[in-house]
Structure 1
Amino acid sequence: MHDARQVLQTLWGYTDFRPQQRPIVEAVAGGRDVLAVLPTGGGKSVAFQVPALLASGTTLVVTPLVALMEDQVARLRSLRVAAACLHGEQPAAVRSESLAGIETGRWALLYLSPETLLSPPVWARLQGCPIARMVLDEAHCLTGWGSSFRPDYHRLGAARRALGHPPLCAFTATATPADRARIEQWLGLVEPVRLVIAPYRPNLAIRVRWMYSTRQRCGAVGAFLASRPDTSGLVYLRTRAGTEKLARELAKAGYRTTHYHAGLGAAARRRAEGDWLAGRLQFLVATNAFGMGVDAPHVRWVIHAHTPPSLEEYLQEIGRAGRDGEAATALLLASEPTGWLDPTDRLLHRHFAANRREQWQTAEKALARLPAQGDFRPELALSLALLHERDRLVWETPFRYRLVAAPPIRPPEAGPLVQDFVRTRRCRWQFLMAAFGEAASPPCGRCDRCTSRTFR
């Protein structure tokens, strides 16, 4: 720890680690596995970057976000740290330099996505590279996205074993007790050091309003924005088309905004994010593709124009407001309880549930045709991830699976927690903390249930 503090002071200019960073640094420097649930802004990056500079070998940082990779690498290089990243949007010369650096052991820290890690050119070079440890940032993607559209997350445990079983540190901002157990199981964490800090933000006031028509929903967004001129925030919707339509309408009304979703090209996404961070845009109208890894202290509010599919996603998104400790607001616009006058949320959730059922039906059909052992095939990636999720398959290597005898798989039923949260009469923060396994806390005194006033 003396050496770690010296590095922290010399390169970062801090005299000591924060209280929540210290046990992580001690565990990482000691070669232990780590599972840390640490709210964004808690300094998790420094907690693994400093030990990486004290170890021989390369620390692999697996993250889903290109923008986060490049931002972290730029900061580290400004400190004269040997860091690099690999992703599909890089110029050929930059990518060649990063690949060559793997073979020579040049990089103290190498950032890459699960897909890039397991791509043939990168994987072949990593076989001859001494790996000091692996870091999985945004680890909730393993349980939230891994079997939906980022299936390579499910092969990371096998990748770790194939790389010589280096220590692994998993970081996330939110995870229920059940998700934490799954992360440990799927990554093969061995007696990990666990650090869980509640995501409660006392400065963040949660509000829920019933919507009785699509017109009222649009009007509620407009009224909220009009009451907060020149403040920065985020508006979340569940569909790409919805973000584009609402952004157009709000831009016509004179607001400085644009839409953001995964269907945009890389340049358009970067431009939108950069304009928002620089203040050229007041807010973004986005799907859940935006916000992960973005640490912007100036966000005063978050609007959910649709009810999100899970409390994990909701808590991740509202947690982007008020990171500077100043007062902030999270407004959720929910379809009225019957869903008949405004069926928006009911239809959206039915659509996503149907997609999930279709994925499971595809997985069941694949299971009937799969041999007991076989090699990974890209066209089966989602089905293999779903089978792994349901304990019907184990990865013997990142590229070879083995089926496991078990009862017939059944698609998991969507939990009622989101609707329970919307309808609860107790303190909103108390409900969220209980859902995430945190100890009982006093009422927050700021949410709509605590103040017992209709939010306007």
Structure 2
Amino acid sequence: MLDNTKRQDIKVILQQVWGYEDFRYPQAEIINCLLNKQDTLVIMPTGGGKSLCFQLPALLQPGLTIVVSPLVALMENQVQQLQQKKIAAGLIHSQQAKSDRKLIISNLTQLKLLYVAPETLLTPPIWEKLLQPDLMINNLIIDEAHCIVQWGTTFRSSYTRLGVIRDALHKHKQNKITIAAFTATADTLTQQTIIKTLRLKKQFKKFVINPYRSNLQLKVKTVWTAKGRKKATLKFIQQQHNKSGLIYVRSRKASELLAKWLREQKLNTVAYHGGIINSKRRAIEQDWLTGKLPFVICTCAFGMGIDKSDCRWILHYHTPELLPEYLQEIGRSGRDNKPAIALALISEPTGWLDNEDKQRSQFFTNQLAKQSKQAKKVFEILPSQGNILDIIKEIPDSELALGILQNLDLIQWQDIFNYQKKSSNKNINSVSTSQQTKQMQQFLQTKQCRWQYILSAFSFIKEAKDFKCSKCDRCSLEKPSRIISNK
């Protein structure tokens, strides 16, 4: 535990740098863990102040805190805010100019926080710089840690290797390195995967704050045709009276088509997805943040960690396949704790009149099956041990396959580049998210309070019992039997 002098120092920094008089629970407790070199897992709703929990300790400790972050926009947003506070922070990403990257790398010893994507962190040039004896590394922070599960075995396999970083660094560093993982959403299975993948110490501390947001009204609307989906979207937007919002779709093409159609209806909007050049994406983000664009048609590439407190609504033109992803996306509205609404549009149950949702879900399932089949092929020809840099040159699509195999405990990483194959009879075809996709479908069709369903799904069983939010489309006509706080 921290002595009183240290506690007072922390309060002074909080007030002088961030302008807050006091912490919100459990910020002070999480900061204590990091300063006491204790591994930590934090599940805290969007807007709960997660970033402060690892940024403030970075200022009080000698050396560098590495923050692994999934999106360039998220990194740029946080680094810009830190630099405005006169905090020495930098970022490295693949879209950077070589001169900018070189400048950051040459000044690592001068930084307090370094933001980097997992793919960039696990490249030989960056790794060699981190091993320099004069560079002290104190914390490894995994921001948006749910990506380990949602993306690690689908298209960003570097997430599955993050757990070996600490041991690899300890071979070159004398000081103890702490790992802390932060996310807004993680059910029990996701928590277990994060803990296992990151190899958190047995004495790690866990903070789990229930996801209920009393200011966020949840609604689901059935649309019977593709045309009806567009009409419902237009009507909903008009009802928002130019308030700030986001519309989520599941493909780049869908974002372009819907944005085009809405512009034809005389609405000011644009499409946003990973295929748009970096400078244009940054411009769109800025236009939305400043209110020049009232809303954006976006894929999941938009919104994570971008802090716009007055976003008043989220419309899911297409729903995500997974409930944690849904919760992440609706969490981008109402961050100022004022009323906000999240509406999801779904096809009628048979899918005969509008089969777009069924087709998209089937595509998702087929992609997982295809990836599992490829992983099985790779496992059969994979050498008993080897270096990932050599393997991906020799075997097509092997990098993602290695991530799947690691998740199934069929290979073990010896360090960040070298693996050891395990002998196992485990069925690779077991790679599936069928239970999670079923959970999302049950949420969309549930007759109970929607927040009650979410609380149960994320293992808040006690809080969910007899719970009614009184605002969602399933219980808005009923009197609330019990209201809970997310503290």
Q: Same fold (TM over 0.5)?
A: yes
User: Is the partner of 2:386 in helix, strand or coil?
Assistant: strand
1:450 aligns with 2:486: no
**CA-atom RMSD, angstroms?**
1.4
> Of 121, 124, 131, which aligns to 1:127?
131
* C-alpha contact 1:20 1:42 (8 A) present in aligned 2: no
Taking the aligned partners of 1:385 and 1:212, their CA distance within structure 2 comes to 39
| Amino acid of the structure 2 residue aligned with 1:449 | R
Question: Which residue in the other structure is 1:176 paired with?
Answer: 187
- CA deviation digits over 1:55-101, x for unaligned, max 9? 11111011012122222222222232222111122233321111111
With structure 2 as the length reference, what TM-score do the two structures score? Answer: 0.90
> Of 138, 142, 148, which aligns to 2:154?
148
1:437 aligns with 2:459: yes
Question: Which residue in the other structure is 1:116 paired with?
Answer: 120
1:426 aligns with 2:448: yes
Question: Which residue in the other structure is 2:410 paired with?
Answer: 392
| Amino acid of the structure 1 residue aligned with 2:476 | T
Taking the aligned partners of 2:250 and 2:19, their CA distance within structure 1 comes to 41
* C-alpha contact 1:83 1:107 (8 A) present in aligned 2: yes
Moved more, 413-422 or 251-260: 413-422
1:40 aligns with 2:58: no
Moved more, 109-118 or 437-446: 437-446
Task: After TM superposition, give the deviation of residue 371 of structure 1 in Å.
Answer: 1.1
1:268 aligns with 2:276: no
Question: Which residue in the other structure is 1:211 paired with?
Answer: 223
* C-alpha contact 1:237 1:304 (8 A) present in aligned 2: yes
Taking the aligned partners of 2:368 and 2:40, their CA distance within structure 1 comes to 31
Taking the aligned partners of 1:326 and 1:10, their CA distance within structure 2 comes to 27
Taking the aligned partners of 1:210 and 1:189, their CA distance within structure 2 comes to 43
Taking the aligned partners of 1:30 and 1:305, their CA distance within structure 2 comes to 45
Task: After TM superposition, give the deviation of residue 421 of structure 1 in Å.
Answer: 0.8
Taking the aligned partners of 1:228 and 1:78, their CA distance within structure 2 comes to 33
1:189 aligns with 2:208: no
Question: Which residue in the other structure is 1:99 paired with?
Answer: 105
Task: After TM superposition, give the deviation of residue 274 of structure 1 in Å.
Answer: 1.0
Any gaps of 5 or more consecutive residues in structure 1? none
Taking the aligned partners of 1:275 and 1:234, their CA distance within structure 2 comes to 13
Task: After TM superposition, give the deviation of residue 413 of structure 1 in Å.
Answer: 4.7
User: Is the partner of 2:144 in helix, strand or coil?
Assistant: coil
- CA deviation digits over 1:10-45, x for unaligned, max 9? 322323322220110000110000100011221111
> Of 420, 426, 434, which aligns to 1:414?
434
* C-alpha contact 1:40 1:295 (8 A) present in aligned 2: no
User: Is the partner of 1:163 in helix, strand or coil?
Assistant: helix
Aligned-residue sequence identity (percent) comes to 41
Task: After TM superposition, give the deviation of residue 322 of structure 1 in Å.
Answer: 1.2
Taking the aligned partners of 1:36 and 1:43, their CA distance within structure 2 comes to 11
* C-alpha contact 2:42 2:207 (8 A) present in aligned 1: yes
With structure 1 as the length reference, what TM-score do the two structures score? Answer: 0.96
Taking the aligned partners of 1:314 and 1:236, their CA distance within structure 2 comes to 10
- CA deviation digits over 1:362-392, x for unaligned, max 9? 1000000001111113452100001111111
Task: After TM superposition, give the deviation of residue 424 of structure 1 in Å.
Answer: 0.8
| Amino acid of the structure 1 residue aligned with 2:327 | L
Taking the aligned partners of 1:127 and 1:213, their CA distance within structure 2 comes to 57
* C-alpha contact 1:255 1:282 (8 A) present in aligned 2: no
Task: After TM superposition, give the deviation of residue 234 of structure 1 in Å.
Answer: 0.7
> Of 42, 52, 56, which aligns to 2:62?
56
Spell out the pairing of 1:209-288 with structure 2 (5 A cutoff). Answer: 209-288=221-300
User: Is the partner of 2:57 in helix, strand or coil?
Assistant: helix
Moved more, 88-97 or 234-243: 88-97
Relative to structure 1, the CA distance from residue 64 to residue 413 in structure 2 (aligned partners, 3 Å threshold; closer, same or farther) is closer
User: Is the partner of 2:81 in helix, strand or coil?
Assistant: helix
